[in-house]
Amino acid sequence: MAETEKGLLTVGYRTRDIVILGLLLLTVLVLVFFSCQKRDLDRQYVWKSDKPVSAALYGHKGELSADRIRSLLSKVMDPELNVSITDLGLIRDISVKGNSAHIVMTLTVPTCPLAKDIIESVRAALFSYPGVREARLDLTFDPPWSWEDTRPGLREELIMRMRAEKGLAEGGSR
């Protein structure tokens, strides 16, 4: 009977080892899945205007420029912070060639849940100006975004806004 108990005990250890191995494998699969999601955002978007050329240029004077593109993008707001993506420093580079714009952009975090909304807002802002016929957006996370990328004083403004929203502004009670 001692051998039977020993045999059952051995099977118990094997079962435990299999469960532990299975959990380790599951952990690795989850990590691989989430790392693939990050890479899914490292991509390029190319859009073309469907407006006729004559309508695209009618009523707009001046050439397309990086400053004009930056102005258009300054109207795109981060949905969580309600701050423009230009003030947040998400726009890394803008180049213009003829009626085509090329934007290199980052996000505050690679796994930003609102990335698709921000990207769609960028597209809409670019094509709100009829002079834009084609646009390319490259998302990059190298280097990663940091507070040093924002316009001066923005971090302090956001801290004060959050304190005010929570009733913790200077002079308020805790």
pLDDT digits (tens, 9 = 90+) for 114-123: 999 999 999 9
- Contact by Cβ (8 Å): 48, 127: no
Predicted pLDDT at 9: 47
What does the buried/exposed string (b/e) look like for 83-97 if buried means 16 or more CB atoms within 10 Å of the residue's CB? bbbbbbbbbbebebe
Q: Where are the domains of the chain?
A: 1-41, 43-165
43-165: CATH topology is GMP Synthetase; Chain A, domain 3 (3.30.300)
CA dihedral (51, 53, 56, 59) in degrees, to 10, reads: -140
Q: 35-39, 59-63, 167-171: lowest mean pLDDT where?
A: 35-39
- Contact by Cβ (8 Å): 69, 126: yes
